[in-house]
């Protein structure tokens, strides 16, 4: 008997194979790890250009972070409590030549050679806004802060779904300021995000969402997040027509990060934060499945909006 999950996995395998056959995704032998073709990357860049044009009037501060953050800063967040199954810790070899020789011998014998490694000072970035907060500890400017981010982020969730990558890029706009400023930012971008996607011919729906908190206590966290209507996702059909996929999310963190990193408004309150994150690979996949695998043949309206 075929379960719904079997059907879904069959959809994902088929979608992945179609993308690979078209040369858009290059499979690398690990679920959720892919190379991208020039055509794929061209769509990513065009979509980013569109987002940049929409954000320009808001004059965000542009900051770009690498795919890793300071381990000490990571441990000031609650990520390890809430999403331990998704984390990525960077380990390196810091031994001498003798220890190196032993490592190679272990590897040659098919033993676990990674026991010779030690944790480095780095953790992989769980979300594009994580590296930002420790850099703005203290008092914000009078009107708060609006930041434009783009980063590779890592989530250890191997999957057949081509839209669920282990490394992917988020373009984020983060607002730090009063509770009202944070909430307004989320709602402004929730509306703008829908406009942007609809202009691209994507049928997006807004759903109240929750993060994938770990374990039993995580289920309580998730329920609370949903009940407080803190997070919305923009969802559409991507690799399967059975279940929609989030291609962007708008999240109000209340004073969660402000508290963890000692960020205050000029009035002396703990800063509230919110963000919209556009999934660049997922948006590209949504466009490819909606309009076909050759952007040259996309509707002219869509090509015009993307300046393709």
CB 85 → a copy of itself: shortest distance, Å?
A: 6
User: Rounded to an integer, what distance in angstroms lies between the CA atom of residue 87 and that of residue 68?
Assistant: 11
**In the complex with a copy of itself, which residue's Cβ is closer, 120 or 194?**
120
Length of the chain: 308
Residue of 196, 201, 179, 282 whose CA lies nearest to 239: 282
**Cross-strand pairs, 205:** 235
Binding to a copy of itself in span 110-139, by CB under 8 A? 112-114, 117, 119-122, 124, 131, 134-135
Restricting to residues 41-60, name those near a copy of itself by CB under 8 A: 41
If one asks whether residue 297 binds a copy of itself (CB under 8 A), the answer comes out as no
Contacts of 76 (CB under 8 A, 6+ apart): 134, 260, 261
SS3 277: strand
What is the number of other CB atoms lying within 10 angstroms of the CB of residue 135?
Answer: 13
Give the SS3 label for residue 210: coil
The answer to whether 215 contacts a copy of itself (rule: CB under 8 A) is: yes
Count other C-beta atoms under 10 Å from residue 301's C-beta: 11
Among 14, 17, 62, 223, contact with a copy of itself (rule: CB under 8 A):
62
CB nearer a copy of itself, residue 235 or residue 287: 287
Site string for a copy of itself, 163-182 (x = CB under 8 A): --xxxx--------------
Of residues 15, 43, 103, 145, which one binds a copy of itself by CB under 8 A?
103
* DSSP string for 61-86: EEEE--SEEEHHHHTTSSHHHH-GGG
The residue among 204, 202, 149 whose CA lies nearest residue 173 is: 149
Residues 180-199 that bind a copy of itself (CB under 8 A): none
Q: Is 85 in the site for a copy of itself (CB under 8 A)?
A: yes
Residue span 10-39 as binding mask against a copy of itself, x where in contact by CB under 8 A, dash where not = ----------------x-xxx--xxxxxx-
Which lies closer to a copy of itself via its Cβ, residue 98 or residue 297? 98
User: What does the radius of gyration of the chain's CA atoms come to, in whole angstroms?
Assistant: 21
Contact residue for a copy of itself among 8, 22, 58, 63 (CB under 8 A) = 63
- Candidates 149-157, 258-266, 287-295, 296-304: pick the segment binding a copy of itself (CB under 8 A): 149-157
| 72, 208, 223, 224: residue in contact with a copy of itself (rule CB under 8 A) | 72
């Amino acid at each position: 008997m075929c379960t719904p999950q079997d059907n879904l996995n069959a959809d994902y395998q088929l979608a992945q194979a179609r993308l690979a056959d078209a040369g858009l995704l290059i499979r690398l032998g690990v679920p959720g790890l892919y190379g991208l073709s020039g055509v794929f990357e061209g769509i990513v860049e065009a979509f980013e250009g569109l987002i940049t044009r929409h954000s320009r009037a808001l004059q965000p501060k542009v900051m770009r972070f690498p795919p890793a953050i300071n381990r000490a800063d990571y441990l000031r967040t609650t990520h390890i409590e809430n999403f331990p199954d998704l984390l990525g810790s960077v380990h390196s070899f810091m031994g001498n030549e003798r220890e190196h020789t032993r490592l190679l011998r272990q590897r040659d014998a098919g033993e676990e050679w990674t026991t010779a490694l030690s944790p480095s000072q780095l953790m992989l970035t769980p979300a594009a806004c994580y590296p930002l907060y420790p850099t703005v500890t203290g008092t914000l400017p009078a009107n708060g802060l609006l930041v434009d981010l783009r980063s590779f982020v890592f989530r250890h969730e191997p999957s057949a779904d081509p839209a669920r990558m282990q490394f992917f890029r988020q373009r984020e706009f983060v607002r730090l300021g009063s509770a009202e400023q944070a909430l307004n930012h989320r709602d402004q971008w929730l509306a703008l995000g829908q406009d942007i996607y609809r202009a691209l011919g994507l049928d997006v729906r807004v759903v109240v969402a929750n993060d994938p908190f770990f374990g039993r206590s995580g289920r309580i966290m998730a329920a609370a997040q949903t009940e407080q209507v803190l997070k919305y996702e923009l969802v559409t059909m991507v690799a399967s027509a059975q279940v929609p996929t989030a291609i962007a999310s708008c999240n109000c963190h209340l004073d969660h990060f402000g508290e963890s990193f000692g960020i205050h408004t000029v009035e002396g309150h703990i800063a509230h934060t919110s963000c919209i994150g556009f999934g660049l690979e997922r948006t590209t996949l949504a466009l490819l499945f909606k309009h076909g695998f050759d952007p040259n043949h996309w509707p002219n309206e869509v090509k015009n909006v993307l300046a393709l």
